[in-house]
Amino acid sequence: MKAVSITQIKKELQHLTQQELVDIVLRVGKYKVENKELLTYLLFEAGNEDGYIEVVIEYMDVQFELLNQQHYYYIKKSVRKILRTVKKYVKFSKKPETEAALLIHFCRKLKNMEPSYTHNVVLTNMFERQLGLAEKTIGKMHEDLQYDYKLELEEIF
């Protein structure tokens, strides 16, 4: 079966009753954890973006504390996992302020990590790539916000 376009789905959803829509959303939420996480964000977290950022930052802090620091191989795997999860949470929000705040915090944690990321090429590239992405995201914001976030970026250097 081939999936139809979003436009067709939108047109079809407009013809359904509220109860039918609720049933469809609940059914979609049952199949994948990511769908359930997105529904959780949309229903409970979207109205309080600052609280959402704090929760994700707290998650990052805990994960960086639990990092297996015995060998760079394990460090790379753990850092990639943290970044993958952060990217998923950024995707839920779709707000440049959230993306910039989370990427800056990720880079700050990576920079302060022991052993240093600079001794590993992969981690160094990851750090630089995320810094570049944060700068690009900051460029999309309002000028007042850009100034604040650029100050935070400069603190990392």
Per-residue pLDDT of the chain (157 residues; tens, 9 = 90+): 888 898 998 898 899 899 999 999 999 889 999 999 999 999 998 889 999 999 999 999 999 999 888 889 999 999 999 999 999 999 999 899 999 999 999 999 999 988 888 888 999 999 999 999 999 999 988 888 888 888 888 887 7
Is the pTM higher than 0.75? The answer reads yes
Q: Are 135 and 157 in contact (CB under 8 A)?
A: no
What pLDDT is stored for residue 114 in this prediction? 86
93 contact partners, CB below 8 Å, separation of at least 6: 41, 46, 49, 52, 99
Query: How far apart (Å, rounded) are the C-alpha atoms in residues 87 and 49?
Result: 16
